[in-house]
Every structure is written in C-alpha cells, then in structure tokens.
Copies of this chain bind each other. A is one copy, B any other.
C-alpha cells in the first residue's frame, strides 16, 4: 500500500489479527475487538477467550493455538502471568508482532514483574516477534482498519502521533479531531520494552502518509538512537513533542506509569533544539502547535496585527502576544488614516490592537481586515472575537438566548444561523489571507455554553476547510505562533 520498505512497515497493515483476552462489553481490554470491527479491518479477525463461543458476531477460540490459520498481529489483554505462554503460542502461529495492552510489568516497580518483562522480551527477540508495549493502547491506523476506540474518525489524515500514553493519545485524537485533524498513524507504545521512540521516529520520518508529527514521551530508552531518528524526522517534517516528567514530581510519576526515567528536562530540550523539533508543555499546546504547522505553516516575521472585539480584551491580548516575544507595532499613520475614513473615533481603537468592526463581514468588516493586514509593518493577523464563546452580554450560564438580548449594548453579533455566519466569517478571513499573502489566525473564546459549542464547531469546520488556523484564546495562539517562529529559526541553523 505504501512505497516505504522500512523494517517496521509491516506493523501498520497486518494481514490478520487475533485479539487474545477479548471480552464482551466494557472494562479494560474489551474495546479492541469492537474498535477493529467498527474501523472496517479487511483481513481475518480472531477473538480468543475460552469463556466465549462467539464475540461481536465472530467465532471465538479458546486458545491462540486453536486459530485455524497463521496470525500476523496479536493484541494481548491477558494478565501478565499468562503472557509467557501466549508468546510460545504466537511463535506456533508465525505471529510477527504482539501488542501487549497487558500491564503489570516493570511499571509496577515490583522486581519480579520487571524481570518477567525482561524474560518475555528476551524470548520474543529470539523468536523474531516485535513487541508494542507492554502497558499501552497500541495502534490507531484508520487506513488499515486498526483502532483501540470504536469512535475515532474512520477518515485518514496526515498527522502522526507517537505517544507512550494511551489516554493521552485518545485525548489528542479526540480533541484534535474536533479541531479538524485527521491521522495517518497513532502509536501508543507504553513501556517501550522492544519497539522504542527511536524506532518509531525513524519509521515516521520515512512514512509517505505522514506530513506532521506529534509526540508524547516520558523517557528515552536509547539517547543516541532517539536523537538520530528525531533529527531525521524533523528534517523532513514539522515535529512537536510534549515531554512528560519535566519536573522531579512528574519524573517520579513516569516511573510508575511506563517505568521511564524522565531525565533532566534541560537535556531533553537541548536534544529537541539540535534535532529541529519544538517542545511543548501540555496537551492543548501540542494540538495548537499541530494546527499551526498545518494551517499557518510559516510566519513571515514576529509583527502581529490584533483585531479584537472590546477594549479590555485588546489590552489583555496585546499583553499575551507581547509576553510571548511577538511584536504589536502601531500601524503606520497612513494605514490609520485609511481606517479612520470609515471608523468613528468614539469607542474604537485603530492603532493596533484594532478594536473596530470585529465580527462584521460586510464592506466595513472586510475593509478593516484588508487594510490592517496590508500594512507594511505587519507580518500576520490575529483576528479575535467572541465566536463560540460566552461573549459580553451573552449569558453563558443558559443554553438558549433570552428576551431582550437583541437590545444588549455590545459585542454580541451571533446571528440565528451559526453555520451561515461561520461561513461568511471564514470566507472573509481566507480571502484576505490569500489576497494579501499573510497568515490570518482566528482566535476564539473557548465555548462557554452548549449553544456556543455548536457555533464554535461550525466555525472550526469551516476554518479547517478554508485552511484557517483556529486557536482558542489569545495566550495559546501567541504561544503557538512564537514557537512556530522559533521552529523556523531552528531549521535555518
């Protein structure tokens, strides 16, 4: 299917799968079978569990040995003590890779269990079987019909995620999907007893289906190998990494989670810098960074124009942007004069931040945006309204608009048809981004009501279609864009 011949490529499109320890309903490990069924895996799929005759409409086998054919890929949910037997059974079935969802190994801090992990890996190496995990969620590859949650998008995309944590991977996929991201390959690899971050970055560097790379890492198994693989990936594709365990307390937690030694964050930071990858510090920041890579791609410079609804918000926005090292220069006199031709003097600001015609999509709105974006001392525009947020005067503690709302004094311009309004808004931003040739970023409030969420959703979808980056909150937008600039500088070095 893909043209790469990377030695790990076989992992991402198995011909047949056995889910060992499959079960009905919820609980840990119960989700793999329905997820793979739901995702539309094309090859033979074998549930294995002596307690069932049938699961999800598929014949269920008492043991892996009872499966009638060879098996490419095994997902293990059996308890740790049963794992050695499963490995021997896998060898009989010519299994090429096992994903151990099974936990209870080195991460417990228990010596016997750590030894068991080592014994298992030693044996799989002898048998030529590759291992994902243990203690992880494994693979989500929509194009190959692989998933660990039935509700992830079936549509594929260009973003890869290399994550030690399964829950963090789920959060990234879920929150990322709602912000328009789609995925080539997601790997949750847990304790990394065999396949490590180095292997995965090396693979992703070559993967033709991956254009942008995100990662959540708790500890590095092989420093030199990781650096080389990361450098290889970061030379070809934008890479953002969230490092778990950046503090001592976090580092203690990584040992309990994936038996990882977090190491000093300064060293990890230096490795990223030298490799050309950008480090972030939260899941939100990771998604924001990928959105910036995807839609903004590159900034011509650090000088921001801020078009903001509200004077106090203008002030706080300028603070947020400047605090990240970006610039908010006063617009040139000529640009101000051009704006003043149609912007009244009372209740507005036109120096920068511009507090005028926010949210307006008629002539004056377009002119305000276009003139501002075209100013010679401006590199990009941050367009920040209440879209999808609470808004001044909108009551976020209620779900429906109230009588009298039309009469409120300021800020609220959300028309009844959120979808149509979102389209007009985004079209305006996209046309200026295209015509003026400078990035325009839409900064929203986080939705503050169920109704606001629908508006936000519509806006997000339209923006994704039109190639406009949407980031909730000026501070997060400023941080992502400042990092984009830093990343550009790393690549120039």
Contact = CB atoms under 8 A, between A and B. Distances in A.
Interface stretch (A41-49, A205-213, A223-231, A247-255): A247-255
Contacts of A395: 151-152, 174, 177
A409 interface: yes
Interface stretch (A124-132, A195-203, A305-313, A366-374): A305-313
Given A393-B151, A395-B174, A446-B446, A318 B253 contact: yes
Contacts of A393: 31, 149, 151, 170, 174
Contact of A108 (B25, B346, B406, B448): B346
B396 A177 contact: yes
B104 A177 contact: no
Contact of A351 (B256, B349, B394, B408): B256
A53 interface: no
Contacts of A247: 318-319, 322-323
Interface residues of A, number: 118
Contacts of A327: 249
A397 interface: yes
A270 interface: no
A399 B346 CA distance: 42
Interface string A251-286: 011101110000000000000000000000111000
A4 interface: no
Given A34-B407, A408-B26, A397 B250 contact: no
Interface of A: 24-35, 38, 79-80, 101-104, 107-108, 110, 113, 135, 137, 148-153, 163-171, 174-175, 177-178, 216, 218, 242, 244-250, 252-254, 256-258, 281-283, 309-323, 327-328, 330, 345-347, 349, 351, 353, 355, 390-399, 402-411, 446-451, 453-454, 457, 475
